Amino acid sequence: MHQAFKGLRVIDTTHVLAGPFASYQMAVLGAEVIKLEDPGDPDQARLQGSDRALSDARMGTAFLAQASGKKALALDLKTDAGQRALKRLIATADVFVENYRPGAFEALGLGYEDFKAVNSGLIYCSISAFGASGPRREQTGYDNILQAFSGMMDMTGWGDGRAVKCGAPVIDYATGTTAAYAITAALFQRERNGGQGQYVDVSMLDVALMLMSAPATGAIWSGEFPKAKGNTFPFATIGCYRASDADIMIAASNLTQQKRLWTALGREELIKSDNNTRLDNHAEEQTALSEIVATMPAAYWEDFFGKRRIPAVRVRSLQEALSDPQVAARGVFHRHDLPGAPLDGLTVPMAGFAMSDSPKVLSMPPQRVGAQTEQVLADAGFDPPEIAELRREGAFGAAAAKAAE
């Protein structure tokens, strides 16, 4: 079997989550990903996570989650030497990814048109909060900012006027996934148009709106905008109900499933023949289902509904979900076995899919800032004197330049 992106070189100058996750998805499928950081101001995710000692060592778990399989290169792109080095690397690359404020790289002479002159086949992907066009193009933001701006938070909560963000950084990960998809599409098109690359503009706001496609379409059509309703859905047979010991989420979504549910519970009089009637009788159905579910434990109902092909699961913690045998069976996670090394046992998710002829593989654990700088440059054709000159000129940072004196 051959990995789908084997032979592709990706230069990734992104930081935090969305951008690094995009290149990580390509690394999992075999691309050579080179993570480029400023030696004096590396990826801020290195300083964040659940283990303070690792964060202090600039290897925080927030960084580790999407850093495996990447070589680490450190260049100061504010120096002429750093910019020259990057442009030579670009000549050997297939993909370049950045997620700084729109216009920042152009101001350094490192924009798409600059790189296109060096490598016409380059796929140049820019990721930003609001996109590279529009009146908010220079406004910065993170996942929580976009959840707040997009209307997603306003839709989430209990309808008490206090918006709630999603527990996971869904816009960040969705943006990373979207970027990886867009890059893949651009690479596919390159194969069909004579090797010509292109510019890819990914906006976190655009992605947030895509995540709300159905609510947005409905609101634009009807003029009725959704409000926060907690775990209440339009149909009463979809929702989170309290069993005698815990919560259970039920999703008897379509007409066939709701008929199965009411038949199984001996309440055939509540079966509806159309969805509008279900909407009109929400309160009656919700009361009936609440009373019934409360009589037995959640595990009982999970088994009861499952045997009758009615989607339902007990609400689980992340700890429970990770220990479920289904997770192990799917091979979602990879464990780094590094006897004696600080990251021995580090376990990270790889990808949310499996391909019959392209395995998910991580070639190396997360690397320290600039760990492969000289190796990457040598592989790109720099000889030892050239590398030494780059160091003296400050391409590797002020500390490295001083040490070279």
User: What's the rounded Cα separation, in Å, for the pair 403 and 173?
Assistant: 39
Residue 135 lies in a domain: yes
Same domain, 40 and 176: yes
Residues 242 and 272 placed together within one structural domain of the fold = yes
Residue 190 placed within a domain: yes
Same domain for 276 and 145? no
226 lies in some domain? no
Q: Residues 172, 337, 344, 383: which is the catalytic one? A: 172
73 and 191 inside one domain:
yes
Question: Do 182 and 47 share a domain, yes or no?
Answer: yes
**Range of the structural domain that residue 285 is part of:** 238-320
Is 76 an active-site residue? no
Task: Classify residue 147: in a domain, yes or no.
Answer: yes
153 and 264 fall within a common domain: no
CATH number, residue 248:
3.30.1540.10
In a shared domain, residues 137 and 185:
yes
Taking only the tens of pLDDT, the chain with its 405 residues reads: 789 999 999 999 999 999 999 999 999 999 999 999 999 999 999 999 999 999 999 999 999 999 999 999 999 999 999 999 999 999 999 999 999 999 999 999 999 999 999 999 999 999 999 999 999 999 999 999 999 999 999 999 999 999 999 999 999 999 999 999 999 999 999 999 999 999 999 999 999 999 999 999 999 999 999 999 999 999 999 999 999 999 999 999 999 999 999 999 999 999 999 999 999 999 999 999 999 999 999 999 999 999 999 999 999 999 999 999 999 999 999 999 999 999 999 999 999 999 999 999 998 999 999 999 999 999 999 999 999 999 999 999 988 877 777
Residues 288 and 171 in one domain: no
Flag whether 325 is in a domain.
Answer: no
Residue 232 within a domain: no
Pair (185, 89) in one structural domain: yes
What pTM does this model have? Answer: 0.94
Task: Please tell me whether residues 52 and 150 are part of one structural domain.
Answer: yes
Give me the number of domains the chain comprises. 2
